Amino acid sequence: MTGEIVIVGAGLCGARAAFALRERGFSGHVTLVGEEVHLPYERPPLSKPSTAGPPVPQLVAARQAYDDAGIELLTGHCVTRIDRAAKRLVLSDAGSLGYDRLLLATGARPRRLPNLTASRLLLTLRTHGDAERIAARLVPGRRLVVIGGGFIGLELSAMARQAGAEVTVVEGQARLLARAVPAEIAALVEARHRQAGTRILLDAGVAAIDETEDEITVSLVDGTHVTGDVAVLGIGAVPNTELAEAAGLWLENGIAVDEYLTSSDPDIFAAGDCCSFPLALYGNKRIRLESWRSAQDQGSLVAANLLGARSPVGHVPWFWSDQFDLTLQIAGLADTATRAVRRELGDNAVILFHLEESGRLVAASAIGPGNTVARDVRLAEMLIAARAYPDPLALASPDIRLKSLLAA
Ligand SMILES: Cc1cc2nc3c(=O)[nH]c(=O)nc-3n(C[C@H](O)[C@H](O)[C@H](O)COP(=O)(O)OP(=O)(O)OC[C@H]3O[C@@H](n4cnc5c(N)ncnc54)[C@H](O)[C@@H]3O)c2cc1C
């Protein structure tokens, strides 16, 4: 196939899609446009401790690889409008690009608190630039206030404690990780953070934020205050849908696509953090994921579909998080589960299997030091993909190998 394929958003998903087009033999023109100045890079390392020194972007591929693959990479360029009738994109520098098929891989950005404008000492963490600004402030004795006890906030807190900063986490809910992690596992995470000396305030709604020249004060709804040298807002992300919305595409918690990642315009596709899609494995429930593996897998899949294949999204959702010496992994979607079966994995590692009323395994969540849970979560993922109804007693028993349940 020949023609012009343009990808908007040079993150992991966009870059993976560009390379996958070439791997599938596409010989037409591929243009990858990204507003960030860096080559496409991985975001997970931004909130994981690295060796000393300022953060360095972990690139998806070196510059040469784009040249070798014949991918035209336009960094530092923002696409401001899609003219669907003319099949052209308008760029911020007033240039324009024509397309035959378009992929929107515009990702997501940090959610802000309503009525709160950006301030000098209140930061967010999404880009390499954000990570540099935060890293410069994480020095021994500095006070960091993290607003939000979700994944990004907790990974950052762990990183800050390891750098010797004093950390307070302010969470509006009654527990940490309330959105995505079962209470039993969230409690283990909380204990590890407290053990490391992090102050955790739960049920702590933010009423106001004020800053002076060198201090920021977070006032809570109960009338108390937390003061820090810097604060980071980690209250989730919102998908970048403005381009799609202005172009009249269907939106629903992101750019709404079908199972082939096609938007409401058959020549425009969307993938990665910016899109919501129906997942057959869960009765076509429409979901949007913010996950490294999903961005990577959807980048490859959408390349095939841009070239005319009809490959549906079928991956089991999977996410990991590293905090201190602990790794947490979640496979599947637990929303429809009515009970959890616990299996001890040794080395203080544990896995919970989430079962529906019918007995079908729909999700697994696990936590343990280092890589201890990886193998079991991988097997659970295979059981979930196989729509298995494993015996709960067998799931609970560490003596029965998960692999044998798969064979059954
Ligand atoms: C700090 C951090 C830690 C993370 N850790 C983990 C983890 O441990 N495990 C895990 O599974 N996931 C993790 N994630 C999530 C994972 O990184 C994301 O799911 C993944 O980056 C999504 O890739 P994407 O390409 O869809 O979007 P993005 O990475 O957001 O890339 C989208 C790109 O599009 C650009 N763009 C947007 N609009 C335009 C436009 N109009 N014109 C041009 N360019 C545009 C943006 O600037 C951005 O560079 C983490 C994310 C962050 C921020």
Per-chain mean pLDDT for the chain: 95
Close Cβ partners of 90 (under 8 Å, ≥ 6 residues apart): 79, 80, 81, 82, 83, 96
The beta strands (E) that lie in 213-338 are given as 216-220, 225-228, 230-233, 237-239, 255-256, 268-270, 275-279, 285-287, 318-323, 326-332
In a domain, 17, yes or no: yes
**Residue nearest to ligand 1 atom 16, measured at CA:** 292
- 408 pLDDT more than 90: no
Distances (CA, A) of 203 to 191, 220, 222: 17, 10, 9
Compute the distance between CA of residue 271 and CA of residue 255 in angstroms, rounded to an integer: 9
Pocket test for ligand 1, best of 128, 154, 292, 296 (most atoms within 8 A of CB): 292
Q: Residue 184: count other Cβ atoms within 10 Å of its Cβ.
A: 13
**Which of 198, 214, 233 is at the close of a domain?**
233
In a domain, 318, yes or no: no
**Whether residue 162 is found in the same domain as residue 245:** no
Number of domains making up the chain: 3
Ligand 1 near 150 CB (within 6 A): no
pLDDT confidence tier of residue 231, bands split at 50, 70 and 90: very high
**Whether residue 65 is found in the same domain as residue 120:** no
Ligand 1 near 321 CB (within 6 A): yes
Q: Would residue 94 be called left, alpha or beta, if left means φ above 0 and alpha means ψ between -120 and 50 degrees?
A: left
Residue 292 sits in a domain of what CATH number?
3.50.50.60
* Alpha helices by DSSP H, 136-176: 151-162
**Whether residue 184 is found in the same domain as residue 216:** yes
Q: What is the 3-state secondary structure (H, E, C) of 305-369?
A: HHCCCCCCCCCCCEEEEEECCEEEEEEECCCCCCEEEEEEEECCEEEEEEECCCCCEEEEEEEEE
CA of 40 to the centre of ligand 1 (A): 10
Residues 331, 377 contacting (CB under 8 angstroms): yes
In a domain, 63, yes or no: yes
**Whether residue 159 is found in the same domain as residue 226:** yes
**Which of 258, 274, 306 is at the close of a domain?**
306
- In tens, the pLDDT along 265-279 reads 999 999 999 999 999
Residues 69, 153 contacting (CB under 8 angstroms): no
- In tens, the pLDDT along 79-89 reads 999 999 999 99
In a domain, 225, yes or no: yes
Residues 380, 364 contacting (CB under 8 angstroms): yes
**Whether residue 104 is found in the same domain as residue 213:** no
Report pLDDT for 139: 86
Lowest model confidence (mean pLDDT) among 135-139, 170-174, 203-207, 324-328: 135-139
- 55 pLDDT more than 80: no
Mean pLDDT of 364-379: 96
CA of 9 to the centre of ligand 1 (A): 9
**Which of 207, 233, 259 is at the close of a domain?**
233
**Whether residue 164 is found in the same domain as residue 21:** no
Lowest model confidence (mean pLDDT) among 108-117, 139-148, 168-177, 345-354: 108-117
Residue 370 sits in a domain of what CATH number?
3.30.390.30
Pocket test for ligand 1, best of 32, 36, 106 (most atoms within 8 A of CB): 106
- Give the residue numbers spanning the domain of 229: 112-233
CA of 209 to the centre of ligand 1 (A): 27
Residues 216, 132 contacting (CB under 8 angstroms): no
Residues 327, 345 contacting (CB under 8 angstroms): no
**Whether residue 225 is found in the same domain as residue 151:** yes
CA of 276 to the centre of ligand 1 (A): 15
**Whether residue 268 is found in the same domain as residue 252:** yes
Pocket test for ligand 1, best of 50, 91, 111, 273 (most atoms within 8 A of CB): 273
In a domain, 312, yes or no: no
**Whether residue 286 is found in the same domain as residue 196:** no
**Whether residue 65 is found in the same domain as residue 213:** no
**Whether residue 75 is found in the same domain as residue 181:** no
In a domain, 202, yes or no: yes
In a domain, 375, yes or no: yes
State the pairing for strand pair 326-332/361-369. antiparallel
In a domain, 316, yes or no: no
**Whether residue 66 is found in the same domain as residue 129:** no
